[in-house]
Every structure is written in C-alpha cells, then in structure tokens.
A = this chain, B = another copy of it.
Amino acid sequence: MTARREIPTIPDVAREAGVSMATAARALGGYGSVSAAAKERVAQAAKTLGYRPNVVARSMITGRTNAIGVVLADIENAFFSSAVRGIADAARAAGQHVILANTDEDIEKEHAAIRVFVERRVDGLIVCPTDGTDRTYLRGIIEQGTPVVLLDRRIRGLRADSVGIDNHRAAYEATRYLLAAGHERIGVVTGTASDVEAALHRPGLVGVENLVGMTGGERTAGYRDALLQAGIEPRVDYVVSGGGYRREDAVAATKELMALEEPPTAILPLDSILSLGVLQAVRELGLRCPRDVSVVGFDDAEWTETVTPPLTVVAQPVQEIGARALQRLLSRIDGSRQRPVHETLETTLVERESVGPPLSEG
C-alpha cells in the first residue's frame, strides 16, 4: 500500500532542473529550441521525478487527441477483428490510438457511438455504416470538422473516402468460377432479409445493388450479372436469407434452398459465418460437399482449410483494408481536401476442395 504518488507536472520538472517552465516544456515536448545543456538537465530531472506527459492537457491546446474512433458492427466477427488489427497497426506507427465501439448493426447505437467520439474530440472516424442510405448524420459530422472514412461499406451521396473491395466483381468472379465448373443452378445465402425481399419483388434481381445493406446487395448483383452474362435467368427463389448473419440463419436458409423442387447444385454464402452455416446444413441434410453441393464462401477465415472439405473462398485483404482506411483518414486529418476516393483492394479466389462438378440429375 504505497501512497499514491501524484504524477509530477512540468512545473515540478522545471523546478527540479532549475529552468523556467517554458524551457522544461520545450525540452519535454520536443518543440521550439532548447540548448543541449538545458535539454539534458530537464531530461535528467524528468527521469528522477518519473515525469509522464499529460496527453489530455496537450490535446486541449493542440486540439488533437491522437485518437481514432472505430465504429463497427461487432469486434467478435473475424472480419472486423482483422480490420481493426490492420487499423491498429497502422495507427501505432502513426502515433494514434484506436477507440472501439460496437453497433450490432443498430443505427441508434451507431449514432450514439459517433456522437460520443466527436465529444471526445477524436481526430477522425473509421465507420462501417449500418445503413447505406443514412447520409445526413455523417454529413453533419464531417461538415462540423471530423474526418470520416468508410470501411467495407459505402454510403451513396456522402462525400467521404471509403476502402473495401469491389463486391460486385468479387461475387461475379466467384459465380463465374462455379459456372465454369458446370453449375447452372447456383444459390445465394445472405443475411440481409431486404436483399431477398427486394429480389422477390424484382424478377431477375433487377436493382438489388440499390439496397440498403450494400455489401450484400452488391454481391447479389455481381452474382446476378454473372448468371445473366452466361445466359441464365436468375431465379428469385435461389436468393435466401435466414433473417440474419448468424450460423443458424444460414443453416435455415440452406435447408430452404435444398428443399426446393430443383435445388441448387452450388451455394454462395456471402460471408464466413454464413459459410459455416451452409457447411453445417449440408452435413445435417446428409449431403456431401462437393459431391452433392459445391460451395464458394467469402472471407478466408482461419478455419477454411481445416473444415471438410477445405473451403474455396473469395479472400479479402482485410488487414490491409483497415490499414488503408487509416492511411486515408490520416491524410484527411492532415487537411487533404482532395475529392473523396473509393479505394477497392484486390480479392483472391482461393481454390480448395469445396467445388466439384454439379450432381447429375437423380
């Protein structure tokens, strides 16, 4: 139970070193000009006293906190935790800290988190927005002076940088891959019910890319266009959602798909948790992958090469997406006034063993 020593301040150090407060501050803060001798004495005094700069006082003056607010759905999700890793590493290199908020795809929580971050005077925000149409809120934040970079998703009509992948193209290529393997009946398992609803009302899946949950919408559109280009009419009953992004949802969706009169011979789950659900449902139905159904997933999760069969996936450079988002944010913080850029990083189709030829009609 040592008494809680108070952390010494600059005046304390100045006194100890026998210099003025301003000199001590300059030596400690590494700005202005100080003679080598003074610098040395101050450093010595700081050391013996155990001086630690008070970053909050500094922030109050400089107006910069060296903190970045990161707003995403759920850090437990492997995609986000990788992205945060990328952000955090880049941040560390730039002397910035990462503050985290989970929204669970709840727009109220998202707004609340952003508001509190702004009150905290974060230098900038990296946001993975819940709602692709919610532009007014973020526009206000940006106009008021806090730079924002969007991650993984975009918001139409918002003047903010974004970093992610080309979702349309990624799904397009995955679908073409399945097509090339001979599949013509390809199902999609998504988490966003609105993707499906819209699909149900728009024969041929016209316009899915205008949907709210853009990642799902863009991917569904990419899938549709690959089909169309191959001369196959997209079927609305082949795009299903179990109501959410949990594994059970994908299990339900997959079972629904396989219960169709003409079940698909291949399935495209739109994220890694959904892939897990598809695989599980396939097994529960007593089917074998890829003999009975082929699967191409999204995101190269840690388990993809350990499941049976090893899963073929569209891999995104997730950490790099995070790192690039931070980079863009930093340059905005540094005052870049360049018009918004939407950066898309390359995806890779990692071929493993979950795709085979379609099961010939029984």
- Chain B contacts for A7, CB-based, 8 A: 144-145
Are B305 and A53 in contact, CB atoms less than 8 angstroms apart?
A: no
Produce 1/0 per residue, A1-19, CB < 8 A to B. 1101111000000000000
Does A118 belong to the interface (CB within 8 Å)? Answer: yes
Residues on the B chain within 8 Å of A280, using CB: 305-306
- CB of B97 within 8 A of CB of A4, answer no
Contact with B along A277-305 (1 / 0, CB 8 A): 00110010000000000000000011101
Q: Report if A138 contacts B (CB, 8 A).
A: no
Tell me the complex Cα distance, A84–B74, Å: 10
Contact with B along A61-81 (1 / 0, CB 8 A): 000010100000011101001
Q: How far does the Cβ of A347 sit from chain B's closest Cβ, in whole Å?
A: 19
Nearest chain B residue, comparing its CB with the CB of A109: B92
Tally of this chain's copies: 2
What secondary structure prevails in chain A residues at the interface with B?
A: mixed
A47 interface residue (CB < 8 Å to B): no
Alpha-carbon gap, A121 to B55, bound state (A): 7
Residue of B nearest to A80 (CB): B81
Q: For the complex formed, measure the closest distance between the CB of A267 and the CB atoms of chain B, giving whole angstroms.
A: 15
Our pick among B60, B102, B273 for the contact of A56 (Cβ within 8 Å) is B60
Across the interface, name the chain B residue whose C-beta is closest to A2.
B143
Contact assessment for B75 and A102 in the assembled complex, using a CB-CB cutoff below 8 Å: no
Q: Is the CB of A307 within 8 A of B305?
A: no
State whether A65 and B56 are in contact (beta carbons under 8 Å apart), knowing that A7-B145, A116-B97 are contacts in the complex: yes
Interface residue A44 (Cβ < 8 Å from any Cβ of B): no
Please give the distance in Å from A29's CB to the nearest CB on chain B.
12
Report whether A88 and B60 are in contact in the complex, using a CB–CB cutoff of 8 Å: no
A91's nearest neighbour on chain B, judged by CB, is: B100
The reply to whether the CB of A52 lies closer than 8 angstroms to some CB of chain B is: yes
Taking A56-B60, A57-B60 as contacts, is the C-beta distance between A75 and B85 under 8 angstroms? Answer: yes
Q: Report if A4-B145 is in contact (Cβ < 8 Å); known contacts: A56-B56, A120-B97, A306-B276.
A: yes
Q: Cβ of A119 < 8 Å from any Cβ of B?
A: yes
Residues of chain B contacted by A53 (CB below 8 angstroms): 119
A247 — which chain B residues lie within 8 A by C-beta?
302, 306
Q: Are B57 and A75 in contact (CB under 8 A)?
A: no
- Minimum distance in angstroms from A114 CB to a CB of chain B: 11
